[in-house]
A and B are shown apart, each in its own frame.
Chain A
């Protein structure tokens, strides 16, 4: 047992191999993740004929209306939310946006998955970011909700 005699055998260097491992793995993660970073919402445009969705009876279709009269969204909303007095029309009833997830879940949450479709009737003047925030709220109520935009040619 010859420990430390002369001191020249002391291993005073830091072992950096684990550090290299971690950094290399981080690098690989970044290289892989960079091209996959887009996020968003899958939507569709409602069609009139030969469409499984449109073939539901008209009463069963739930329409969410967004109008500048109910919600002043002519410019991008400030901060992270929506204007406090903002309200939308869900199935012909006026609903404050804060309660939108709850109401969407009540109306559509109980349906079979293929009928969980929300039709959006959006006024052309409404700001695009505002539309997406309302869409996000509607999806918060029913995560696998399908979104169809009503539109005229």
Chain B
């Protein structure tokens, strides 16, 4: 009987592994919409916003409902905004600045920040929106 060893149970029990992975998956699915940096902002809804590329190369400027300014996770006084922006850019060669502004603001608030960014010496910004029906914020 050469087939004798085939009755040995040599397989690893992977059920606990599956459990852990499934739980991790669920945690990620739940956390994904809440992982954005900065203040709570209701993003404007539009039908076809374009992907803004990799978040890791970006400087995120947020404007909350009250008009408060944030760079990444830190609130900034408008007077120090330009300095904060330069510090955030550091020595990045081609920084991409994105503005995450609250949908309830009027255009003036956003325009002033765009001007401040341009006056600091950067060209072009991305205005963040979310697709209708998309998850998050």
Contact = CB atoms under 8 A, between A and B. Distances in A.
Interface string B98-137: 1011111111111100110010000111111111101010
Majority DSSP secondary structure for residues of B touching A: mixed
B35 A34 contact: yes
A105 interface: no
Contacts of B103: 76, 127-129
Nearest to A81: B47
A42 B18 contact: no
Interface of A: 9, 16-17, 19-20, 23-24, 26-27, 30-31, 34-45, 74-76, 80, 122-129, 131-133, 135-136, 139-140, 149, 151, 153
Contact of A136 (B48, B58, B109): B48
Contact of B128 (A40, A124, A127): A40
B110 A128 contact: yes
Contacts of A153: 115
B72 to A, nearest CB: 13
B54 A35 contact: yes
Q: Which of A34, A123, A125, A151 has the most CB of B within 10 A?
A: A34
Interface in B7-51: 7, 14-15, 17-18, 21-22, 24-25, 28-29, 32, 35-36, 44-51
A74 B108 CA distance: 12
B115 A39 contact: no
Interface in B44-91: 44-56, 58
